[in-house]
Structure 1
Amino acid sequence: MNEVENAIGILKDNGYKYTDKRERILSYFNQENRYITAKEVQQTLKVKYPNISYDTIYRNLYTFVELDIVEETELNGEKLFRLNCSHSGHHHHFICTVCGKTKRIEMCPMNFFEDQLNGCQINSHRFEIFGQCEQCLQAS
């Protein structure tokens, strides 16, 4: 089963109906495999759905985040989204601030922090590094 079919299954399992627009949003994320703004999603979908609103995009993105289909981050005050890759094991990301591409970081710094937070319970964490990828550095 591919990522889009898996995501549609999660939506159905949680009482959400299938729509072409939802599938197109998920397919776009699957195709791009990077962090994307809601505005980019809207511009891409406007080709097929000229009247699609920014609110529709945002509502769907937050439904996807809620269901752990899509993960979000923030850069310069703007939310960015990408398909969740938690199925591929625990890891973190380097995120290009220019193009949104990500690189997987296998190492997890939590051991260092757990030692400093003796007596505390950590329920979750996220570790992201922001910078410019090789292609964007060469282009500048």
Structure 2
Amino acid sequence: MNIEKAWEILKKEGFKKTDKREQILEIFSQTEKYITARDILDVMMAEHPGMSYDTIYRNLSTFVDLGILEETELTGEKHFRMQCEADHHHHHFICMSCGNIKEIHYCPMETLQNAIPGYQIENHKFEIYGNCPECH
């Protein structure tokens, strides 16, 4: 997702454009990696010394709820990245060392659907964790 699309969503949902929200979105637009709220705070403290972790986390939660960010949990901590703009269904390999991702163009749901006949699946999330070739 690009920043313009994110602002369209925020505006539609009644959120005001603020310098802090703008900076958070800018940070995400500059990376494909999953990053933490702490990573965002470290960057933002230079311009906003009084910035709180709670303010960042509230904004990140709002962005996830609105479909602007994706979230996953790595090593017991939530990590976030800009929502994929791909027009096809896919999943991700996520490097646990550097946070880089690789798209996986295979979905195991067809196989799993056959394993649980009669159950109606509403949604799913499939992620693979490990180390990328650079971190291995």
**Fold conserved (TM > 0.5)?**
yes
Measure the CA separation in 1 of the matches of 2:87 and 2:36: 23
How far apart are 1:47 and its partner, in Å? 1.6
- Give how far 1:76 is off: 1.8
SS at match of 2:114: helix
Amino acid at match of 1:113: L
Looking at structure 1, the residues matched to 44 and 87 of structure 2 have their Cα atoms a distance apart, in angstroms, of: 28
**Which runs of 4 or more aligned residues in structure 1 lie more than 4 Å from their structure 2 counterparts after TM superposition?**
none
Deviations 1:78-136 (A, max 9, x none): 10111111543211000000111100001111001100111111010011000111111
Indicate the RMSD between aligned Cα atoms, in angstroms: 1.2
Deviation at 1:5, TM superposition (A): 1.0
Aligned-residue offset at 1:50: 1.4
Q: Which residue of 2 aligns with 1:133?
A: 132
In structure 2, distance between residues paired with 1:88 and 1:99: 26
Aligned partner of residue 95 in structure 1, secondary structure: strand
Report Cα offsets for 1:61-86 as digits up to 9, x if no partner.
00001001001111121101111115
* CA deviation vs aligned residue, 1:17-42 (integer Å, no higher than 9, x gap): 11111111111111011100110011
Q: Counterparts of 2:64 and 2:24 in 1: how far apart (Å)?
A: 13
Measure, in 1, the Cα distance between the counterparts of 2:30 and 2:91.
20
- TM-score normalised by L of structure 1: 0.93
Aligned to 2:78: 79
Take 2:75 and 2:29, find their aligned partners in 1: how far apart are those partners? Answer: 24
User: 1:55-66 maps to which residues of 2 (within 5 A)?
Assistant: 55-66=54-65
Residue 38 of structure 2 is aligned to residue 39 of structure 1: yes
Secondary structure at the aligned position of 1:26 is classed as helix
Structure 2: 5+ residue runs without aligned partners?
Answer: none
Q: Secondary structure at the match of 1:136?
A: coil
Identity %: 51
Decide which structure has greater helix share.
1
